[in-house]
Structure 1
Amino acid sequence: MSKIVICHRVVRHLRIGNYFHCIFATFDTMEGKISLISKKNKRLVLSFTVLQFLVIIVRIWSIATTRADLLESIFGIAIASLTVIGFVVRCDPFPDDVQVQFLNYIFSSKDEVSDRGATRYLNLLALFFDVVEFTYYSISTVLGLLALFLPCQPGLTSSIICSSEGVLLSGLIFKFLYLFFFPALEFLIYMQVAVGTAYNFVTVLLTGVTFLWLECAFFIKCYQKELADLADYRKIQIFEKILNSCTREGIFLKFVILIPSLQVLMSLVAIKMFHSGHDLLAVMFCWMYVIILGSTLLTFSAAAKVYGTSTKWIQGCKGGERKKYARKMHRSLIPLRLHFGNNFVEILTPLVVQEYCVRQTVTFLLLTK
């Protein structure tokens, strides 16, 4: 039942992504599975990617040319960083259909989750999907309102209609841009950033890592009851190889590099906003920090669980077989590993990542004091 709930969340997120033309996958209601979008819609996604690139140039230009204090500059850099990260994650003119096939395999397999802990984790994952979806609309609306009430803030696209002294230019055309165009543009761009990033980092990566861990835990449970043999572990290894091929050099590597850095930046800006008295903006960045923290903890913890669970099982079952071929097969077993580049996630990786984030946040706070 929990797997069905996750599937419904994924389908809903795919439809949001198709509505805003920011992902290459869609849900085919006729066949009941995920598929790549049509060539026409693919051109729309690429066109909006180009628009996002132009917005990045405008954001960077406004930060570099506008006279602003340190707090305004940090705020502008945070807004620009969100767009840059979304662009880096989404910028893939040649989408990989293996990711789509991988998701279809996950949701078409039997729902074998019977453990209470696994069920609670899937319910937590479904709740996280809902929280991420709420973040799409809430943060996009806030950025649209910022373009309306703080149009000259560096980092916002509306700052290009302001003078170097931070004064809004007058005129009918500038008024139209200020009241309608730029707030709508900020809303659209962040929606594309959030949905495109969440599709790669949450729908593909986090969901894939979670179900690999659950498959491993279910196999060990069946093996202990003599309902499975070592050949079934080979099937899970194939599952692991496919997931690594989908994420190792792309999604997971980007996640490891970008998301902890963004977590450091969001925590820094939130603290600075609280100290300066901008409580509403501080709450917005705190909320984004919580979402990013949740994604890092869930992803790295699930990946570490995959490695830790498989390692413990291999160490515990070796030497228990009497037949020669079974002992040789035991010696050939290797733990399941989620790779990013040339590295892989170990048991202590989640703690190492959070220690890095805390250390960097403290360092930046001391430098900007």
Structure 2
Amino acid sequence: MRLASTSTLPQLAIGIILTLAYTMGFVWRIDLKRDPILAQVWNFIAARNGHLSAKAAHRELILFSCLAFFLEFILIISFIIPLIVAMLTLFSPCVPPLLISLLCHPSQSNGWKLDRMYGPVTRMGFAILELVQFHVVGTGGDYYINFFMTTAVVRLWLDCKVLTESGDTFENQVILYRRIQIYEKALNSCIRDRIFLTLALLGPLFQILSGFTLVEMANSSNYSTLLACGLLYFTMLCLTLFCFSATGQVNQITVNWIAGRRAVCKTRVNRKTLKSLVSETVSLILMTPEELGFA
């Protein structure tokens, strides 16, 4: 077996991580459950209305423009990587990350080679399998983690910033906060259903895989693989830091807003209204084992 002949810890870790990745990819194909809450969140984003100040509109334009470039970059990578993997299967079948490499055996030149009995038809079949597999994982991850979650969290953060900068009456601010709460509940329900687990499993998976590959490739002359793994590691690191920092800021902004309103509210009715409000907490920063299904 190829795994039994692995001599270094990084190679063993890469093999285990890749096995988990392939297993998750195949299981992902069976997950055909309809998710109406995700559509509700998109409707909340699309139906957003109201007049923004010049500062808020400028901030929203800059943030969503940067986010659009970032998402387009990830989308391009998600289409290029499956093609690269398929080409490697055809021309370099004994590269360890490939499934067809399990059919390779040691050669006399201290390398690995594929038996002659596995001809072009076998390579083409494995290439198609690798292409479909990586494309499914890439497309699903892009949609749920990148396109949906980043856009939804950014929308929530922007609405909270608009709330703190609003000069409306107390009653109008409470109405706006209630709308944000409805949106936050729908977003948390969708994250608890699948997105949090997807990020919690795939994020560290790809980070560890790309990190070990960077260690292996640093001492070789394969600069293209080194660059690709470096971009993947940097992208996943930025995405993880962005999501968790944005959700933390949402909670802190709402806590400060409620505390500030309590300091200026004088009437008894307004104070009772503030007591009924709770700060916004996205599930990325607060998730119990029972909600994850481990208890």
Find out whether 1:208 has 2:115 as its counterpart: no
Find out whether 1:95 has 2:34 as its counterpart: yes
In the other structure, the counterpart of 2:198 is 254
One-letter amino acid matched to 2:132: L
Find out whether 1:150 has 2:92 as its counterpart: yes
The normalised TM-score by structure 1 is 0.67
In the other structure, the counterpart of 1:231 is 175
Q: Is the 8 A contact 2:14 2:212 kept in 1?
A: no
Find out whether 1:176 has 2:121 as its counterpart: yes
In the other structure, the counterpart of 2:113 is 167
Distance 2:285 2:192 in 1: 6
1:127-172: per-residue Cα shift (whole Å, max 9, x none)?
Answer: 111011111122122212221232123341222443465331214x
One-letter amino acid matched to 1:101: Q
Query: Cα distance, 1:79 vs. partner?
Result: 4.2
In the other structure, the counterpart of 1:366 is none
One-letter amino acid matched to 2:257: W
Find out whether 1:129 has 2:77 as its counterpart: no
Query: Cα distance, 1:94 vs. partner?
Result: 1.6
Q: CA, structure 1 residues 341+300, in 2 after alignment: closer, same or farther (shift >3 Å)?
A: closer
Show the 5 A alignment for 1:64-75.
Answer: 64=3, 67-70=5-8, 72-75=11-14
One-letter amino acid matched to 2:34: P
Query: Cα distance, 1:326 vs. partner?
Result: 0.3
In the other structure, the counterpart of 1:119 is 61
SS in 2 for 1:64: coil
Greater gyration radius: 2
Q: CA, structure 1 residues 158+236, in 2 after alignment: closer, same or farther (shift >3 Å)?
A: same
In the other structure, the counterpart of 1:265 is 209
- Which structure 2 residue ranges, 5 or more long, are not aligned? 289-295
What's the Cα RMSD here?
A: 2.7
Q: CA, structure 1 residues 210+85, in 2 after alignment: closer, same or farther (shift >3 Å)?
A: farther
Distance 2:51 2:22 in 1: 39
In the other structure, the counterpart of 2:142 is 198
Q: Which residue of 162, 167, 175 corresponds with 1:218? A: 162
In the other structure, the counterpart of 1:21 is none
Query: Cα distance, 1:240 vs. partner?
Result: 0.7
SS in 2 for 1:319: helix
One-letter amino acid matched to 2:80: S
Q: CA, structure 1 residues 90+326, in 2 after alignment: closer, same or farther (shift >3 Å)?
A: farther
Q: Is the 8 A contact 1:72 1:153 kept in 2?
A: no
Q: Is the 8 A contact 1:86 1:196 kept in 2?
A: no
Distance 2:16 2:6 in 1: 12
Q: Is the 8 A contact 2:104 2:113 kept in 1?
A: yes
Show the 5 A alignment for 1:215-364.
Answer: 215-222=159-166, 224-226=167-169, 228-340=172-284, 343=287
Query: Cα distance, 1:72 vs. partner?
Result: 4.9
Q: CA, structure 1 residues 167+271, in 2 after alignment: closer, same or farther (shift >3 Å)?
A: closer
SS in 2 for 1:339: coil
SS in 2 for 1:167: strand
Query: Cα distance, 1:338 vs. partner?
Result: 0.5
1:203-227: per-residue Cα shift (whole Å, max 9, x none)?
Answer: 22222111111122222222x3438
- Which structure 1 residue ranges, 5 or more long, are not aligned? 1-61, 345-369
Q: CA, structure 1 residues 285+131, in 2 after alignment: closer, same or farther (shift >3 Å)?
A: same
Q: CA, structure 1 residues 87+287, in 2 after alignment: closer, same or farther (shift >3 Å)?
A: farther
One-letter amino acid matched to 2:144: N
The normalised TM-score by structure 2 is 0.82
Q: CA, structure 1 residues 125+84, in 2 after alignment: closer, same or farther (shift >3 Å)?
A: farther
SS in 1 for 2:264: coil
Distance 2:21 2:228 in 1: 13
The percent of aligned pairs where both chains have the same amino acid is 26
One-letter amino acid matched to 1:167: K
Q: CA, structure 1 residues 256+130, in 2 after alignment: closer, same or farther (shift >3 Å)?
A: same
1:168-215: per-residue Cα shift (whole Å, max 9, x none)?
Answer: 1214x622222x332233222211110111111122222211111112
Equivalences, count: 279
